[in-house]
Amino acid sequence: MISKETRSKDDCNSYHQSGRIKRSFRANVLSNTDIPDVNTVTLVTHLTSDRYDRLINIKSTWNGPISATVYVKRREDIHHLANTFCFFYVYDNWNFFYLHLVDERGIFYPVNYLRNTAITQAPTDFLFITDVDFVTMPHTYEILHTYVGSGIPKKNEVAAE
C-alpha cells in the first residue's frame, strides 16, 4: 500500500516535471494568409480535440479573427480536425481563422502553453482571451472593433504616468 505522503510527493513531482516537457506545435495549419486590419481584435482560445464543436459555436457569433490552439490527444485527430476546419474555412468563408495544433504529452493539460501559443500566433495586437465554452453575444466583435479603432493605445504605446 502506498502512503498518502508518497502519493502526494509523486503527484508533485509529476506536476513539476510536466513544466519541463518539450512540446511541439504546428502553427496556422490551415495556411491562412489573410491579414486582418491591425486595428481589430482577435479572439484567442484553446481546447482539446474532442471539443472542436465549441469553436463552431464561437464562430457563429464572432465575426473577427480567431486564433485557437487545439491540444491533440491522438494522431488520427489531426486529419479529422484539418478536414473539418478546412471545410469551414473554404465553404463557409472563415477568413482570419488561425488554427494551431499541439501534440499531447504528459498527464496534465498545459493551459499556459496552449494559451500562449494562441496569443503569439494571433495576427493582431488586440486580443480577446476567452474560454472555449464562452460564446460571445452577437456583435461583440463589432463593438470591440469600433472601440479599438477609436485610437486607444496599444500595449507597447502605453506610458506610465
Q: Which one of 46-50, 92-96, 128-132 scores highest in mean pLDDT?
A: 128-132
Give 159's pLDDT tier (boundaries 50, 70, 90). very low
Beta-strand relationship, 66-72 and 97-103: parallel
Count the neighbouring beta carbons within 10 Å of the beta carbon of residue 20.
7
In this predicted structure, what is the pLDDT of residue 160? 45
Q: ∠ at Cα 57 (52, 60), nearest 5°?
A: 130
Q: Compute the distance between CA of residue 18 and CA of residue 62 in angstroms, rounded to an integer.
A: 34
Question: By CB neighbour count within 10 A (0-12 exposed, 13-18 middle, 19+ buried), where does 85 fall?
Answer: buried
Q: Compute the distance between CA of residue 83 and CA of residue 142 in angstroms, rounded to an integer.
A: 29
The three grid cell numbers given for residue 39, joined into one nine-digit string = 486595428
Give 161's pLDDT tier (boundaries 50, 70, 90). very low
Where do we find the cell 500562449? 116
Q: What is the pLDDT of residues 66-93, one digit of tens each?
A: 999 999 876 767 666 666 766 666 656 6
- Of 34, 45, 37, 39, whose CA–CA distance to 157 is shortest? 39
Q: What is the pLDDT of residues 100-125, one digit of tens each?
A: 988 877 778 899 999 999 999 999 98
- Assessment of whether the complete model's pTM goes beyond 0.95: no
Alpha helices in 19-130 (DSSP H): 53-59, 75-91, 111-120
